[in-house]
Amino acid sequence: MTLPALFIAHGSPMMALEDNEYTRFLEQLGRELPTPRGIAVFSAHWDDPDQRLTEDAEHGTMHDFYGFPEEMYQITYPAKGSVELAAQIRERFSANNLHAKAVTGRGLDHGIWVILRKMYPDANIPVVALSVDSKRSPREQYSIGRMLSDLREEGILIIGSGGLVHNLRMVHKSDEPDAWAAAFDEWIAEQLSEWNLHNLFAYDKKAPHASDAVPSYGREHFVPLFYAMGAADNGRKAKRLFQSYQYGSLSLNCWSFE
């Protein structure tokens, strides 16, 4: 069973409580995909210069956000970890001369549990969380994802969790997309449809409105795209499964790579 790699926008933490077109899409996606043996998530909310991954048998639930309704802080997602899967990931990193540090006790950040709670509400699939490094080059990020590509053939679902347009300083009340945000997303879509790594790796210079869509202080939300793409380097086929917006410029999108 070979699973796709996915890029999934995790949106606002409030998505955990919302019932809308996007949350229903995620629920349906979880039902339609073959049941994974395990899930490995590169999260925008774990940005570290060193490659890190969780090595827990059990996960806590991180409430790594502020100013939200009290109900948000009562939500738990009691997914188990997998020491075995963590070891398999470390072996592949080591074989490619990437030093990875296993950590325990971190828990799952909201970039992970918000989407998994929609896709797999029973929390019955083991999860390994992985850090991203927003200061690495896109080529390096892609190559790290590629190190794990064969795990997809073993029933492991690899996810990059972030947001292609994620500039919280430019959001507003309308859910109608700002023209600049839509233009950036469509440029990305065109490059993905052709797997044009040359342009994608230079998105900051080539894409329209790149500095607004991916501000220097929010690059960590964009880069999980490259980790997820790298995990499907052997197939190089991209399919957009969903696209919408919240707050004018918060892009809610899901891409499948095979």
Residue type, 38: G
Which residue carries 């970890």 as its tokens? 81
- 144-196 confidence digits (pLDDT tens): 999 999 999 999 999 999 999 998 888 887 878 999 999 999 999 999 999 99
pLDDT of residue 170: 85
pLDDT of residue 175: 75
- 12-31 confidence digits (pLDDT tens): 999 999 999 999 999 999 99
pLDDT of residue 248: 86
Q: Where are the domains of the chain?
A: 5-257
Mapped onto helix, strand or coil, the DSSP state of residue 40 is strand
Which comes out higher in pLDDT, residue 176 or 61? 61
pLDDT of residue 84: 97
Domain 5-257 indexed as CATH 3.40.830.10: yes
Residue 206 pLDDT grade (very low, low, confident, very high; cuts 50, 70, 90)? very high
Burial class (CB in 10 A: 0-12, 13-18, 19+), 42: buried
pLDDT of residue 75: 97
How many angstroms from the chain centroid is the CA of residue 223?
A: 9
